[in-house]
Structure 1
């Protein structure tokens, strides 16, 4: 997070805090329909006055004579999506920074972020499978091999890297909020599975689709054994992009084939983890629709993951209307130096990503890095990450 002003330093926590507060308000409002004496808790954010999620007096439900002609009708028969929650990504950089805190400070921070009663009750956590552009330790996958060598049986698979600080921080988060759900996905599989023989660039070699499925199975089993169950995965982060940091191009038809392999592998291993398609920007709805239109892949695909960097939330509704049985998640949304001021940053997060996201069928919203240092890092030292995200 940036060091320039309160709003920018604490923007992520503040924005998600509003979401958590809003969830609590919604729950109280629903309960209040059965009791006119029930109250609704209210928080106020006034950017111009530098007030951020400040508790206000409770509002009571009660009968009162009024000349106001406004009528609010609550129709319990109208049902929309089930809300799974709100949260942010526990990237390698975020976990590394949080783990560097003194023990007492780390415990206090994790409580403030995840505890349902003493914190803001974050309930969705995205964790990358291997390196991204936000890594304190450089590039890595769970089965790295020397250039030119392969490991099709995944005999060298290991999550040892994550055992140092990522898994411990995730366990702490789940201890505070046991109902929290974790989404995991790779920016790149091991380089030897790809045409580039590297975690940078390239695409998946077709004969490694089933091996990649086994890679997911081993990851989920290893994390589950470590006390970190995985609720959702996506096959590939931003599959239409090939950045200068770990990434991989994967067409909709390729991802459809990969999802079939993963779905079959999950079924064979009795893994209940849900698969989400796409995991990229709003403005390419044809990608998830291609997968949902393929019955062989659609049967294994629970929904769509969306990013917010181009397009707008109405594309979520377009896909929902065509495939109403599929779930919808905003899986990545980041503020950054491109936002001109605190008001823009706050309105983007709360107004567009959270409120408009929910109004367009999102079951949940996940922002990007949970924590960064004042230099907007640490960035992956092996690649050319850009210090732009807060």
Structure 2
């Protein structure tokens, strides 16, 4: 039996409340509501609210402004790393199916809708590898990590939700394509650091094409890619330095032409690194420099960002400079350094900074790091992150007991009510420093609001779409998602 240390009664006794002991009553009403409090007294609890028949005189009203339209949402999810897939495959088939349905089903679960995988290894793979470690592209082939772990899990996810989008990012090219620097151009036979040899720009573009085709042959379509994970980070266990000038040359003159020749619809997102450009002045505004130099707008959709340095306001700055280019948020981590398993701390901060914070600064999608790690923060490798937690952690003593962490909730509160294709819309009225929220119009004729109350007191909030309004008592330190028909 799958033991769920959230959504159920296996929570430690210190977290139990009388409310948790009450049986769940099927929630029916005009508005579907999901509630999570940071003390787990309500644990992604499905409830309902009804429209009010009285006139709305509430001073704490969030008024929807559907005519004010922002970005169209692509989706929300987590990284399906080799480590994640290893842990999932350790579960019983029945338990794994139950967890994946709860996570990805748009009708019976959270409906997570956008996932990220590595092209070759990441720092959370079972080994260091690429798909062409022997020189020569004729040696390109999927490895056992793909065929035994990643692809089977992706197929199970897609069977549950065929509309899930998949992004691919490489941590390193094959080592035979790397040099020590662009001046000496000496071979650099290391997984860590180095630069891409300009002689192999064309080969590396072909490597991307072969990788996409290999997944297509498995029935898995790749929605988007980034040219390099964290291109300014030389220190990861698998890594490559790729400054903006190199990325411009590689993408503009090699990757884009090869994608067009292959008739791919796969989007390219530039950069894929921190808000502060790792404090490298010559790399500031990395994607803007590439846009300024001129690059295909049909294939190069925009830029991707992480939050290991700098502030989410950088997204707004980039949007203002190039409003027609897209933005996605593709990685963030929790771990021992930020009290990652303490939901009382992390639920509020991660919802404010990562989820709502990036969306309200024009991100079209939000993807967190590992969906699942084990209770020893693994499998992990020396040189990679050995202090990271997953969005959920599974007890490696039984590969059954699951603890859900903040990243699982923040993604679930978005994906449960905000569906791919939804448009973020404007709001007016209620404002409070402890509250954050975003409003959306889905393609199926429903509205959605995701709201954070970071205050130590509850507050009754009214939401008014111009036709209907309803009031709901928002608990202290909680996240609430609402969805209703117009």
Interval of TM-score (by shorter of Structure 1 and Structure 2)? 0.7 to 0.9
Do residues 44 (structure 1) and 35 (structure 2) align?
A: yes
Do residues 139 (structure 1) and 132 (structure 2) align?
A: no
Matched with 2:96 is 106
Supply the distance in 1 between the matched residues of 2:333 and 2:41 (Cα, whole angstroms): 21
Distance 1:244 1:275, change over 3 A: closer
1:349 shift after superposition: 2.3
1:293 shift after superposition: 1.2
| Residue range with higher mean Cα deviation, 305-314 or 342-351 | 342-351
1:124 shift after superposition: 0.4
Do residues 271 (structure 1) and 272 (structure 2) align?
A: no
Matched with 1:308 is 307
SS at match of 2:336: coil
CA offset digits 1:342-387 (Å, max 9, x no partner): 222212321210011110001010010010010101013xx42232
Higher helix proportion, which one? 1
CA offset digits 1:190-244 (Å, max 9, x no partner): 0000012222210000111111100000000000110111000000000001124
| Residue range with higher mean Cα deviation, 41-50 or 252-261 | 41-50
Distance 1:47 1:296, change over 3 A: closer
Distance 1:298 1:198, change over 3 A: farther
Supply the distance in 2 between the matched residues of 1:185 and 1:66 (Cα, whole angstroms): 49
Supply the distance in 1 between the matched residues of 2:138 and 2:157 (Cα, whole angstroms): 31
Matched with 2:344 is 343
Distance 1:373 1:300, change over 3 A: same
Matched with 2:398 is none
Distance 1:192 1:239, change over 3 A: same
Supply the distance in 2 between the matched residues of 1:190 and 1:361 (Cα, whole angstroms): 34
SS at match of 2:215: helix
| Residue range with higher mean Cα deviation, 45-54 or 239-248 | 45-54
Kept in 2, the 8 Å contact 1:87–1:366? The answer is: yes
Matched with 1:282 is 275
Greater relative contact order structure (CA < 8 Å, 6+ sep): 2
Q: Which TM-score applies when normalising by structure 1?
A: 0.85
Matched with 1:156 is 139
Q: RMSD across aligned C-alpha pairs, in angstroms?
A: 2.1
Supply the distance in 2 between the matched residues of 1:53 and 1:366 (Cα, whole angstroms): 19
Matched with 1:198 is 190
Return the index of the structure with the highest Cα Rg.
2
Structure 1: runs of 5+ lacking an equivalent: 11-36
1:326 shift after superposition: 1.0
Structure 2: runs of 5+ lacking an equivalent: 12-27, 180-187, 278-283, 390-486
Distance 1:64 1:213, change over 3 A: same
**1:5-84 to 2 correspondence within 5 Å?**
39-48=30-39, 50-56=41-47, 58-65=48-55, 67-69=57-59, 72-84=62-74
Do residues 384 (structure 1) and 383 (structure 2) align?
A: yes
Distance 1:67 1:227, change over 3 A: closer
Kept in 1, the 8 Å contact 2:39–2:343? The answer is: no
| Residue range with higher mean Cα deviation, 279-288 or 221-230 | 279-288
CA offset digits 1:259-313 (Å, max 9, x no partner): 1111100100111100000000112351111111121355531011110111111
Q: How many residue pairs align between the two structures?
A: 349
Matched with 1:26 is none
Do residues 368 (structure 1) and 369 (structure 2) align?
A: yes
SS at match of 2:141: coil
Higher strand proportion, which one? 2
Supply the distance in 1 between the matched residues of 2:105 and 2:50 (Cα, whole angstroms): 26
Distance 1:71 1:368, change over 3 A: closer
CA offset digits 1:318-352 (Å, max 9, x no partner): 00111111111110111111123322221232121
Distance 1:73 1:104, change over 3 A: closer
| Residue range with higher mean Cα deviation, 60-69 or 237-246 | 60-69
Kept in 2, the 8 Å contact 1:213–1:265? The answer is: yes
CA offset digits 1:139-164 (Å, max 9, x no partner): 1100002xxxx31xx00000132111
Distance 1:244 1:296, change over 3 A: closer
Supply the distance in 2 between the matched residues of 1:107 and 1:48 (Cα, whole angstroms): 28
Distance 1:376 1:49, change over 3 A: closer
**1:163-312 to 2 correspondence within 5 Å?**
163-195=147-179, 196-260=188-252, 261-284=254-277, 286-296=285-295, 298=297, 300-312=299-311
Supply the distance in 2 between the matched residues of 1:135 and 1:71 (Cα, whole angstroms): 47
Supply the distance in 1 between the matched residues of 2:267 and 2:206 (Cα, whole angstroms): 15
1:67 shift after superposition: 4.5
Kept in 2, the 8 Å contact 1:280–1:305? The answer is: yes
CA offset digits 1:40-73 (Å, max 9, x no partner): 21122222354321223x2223331355345544
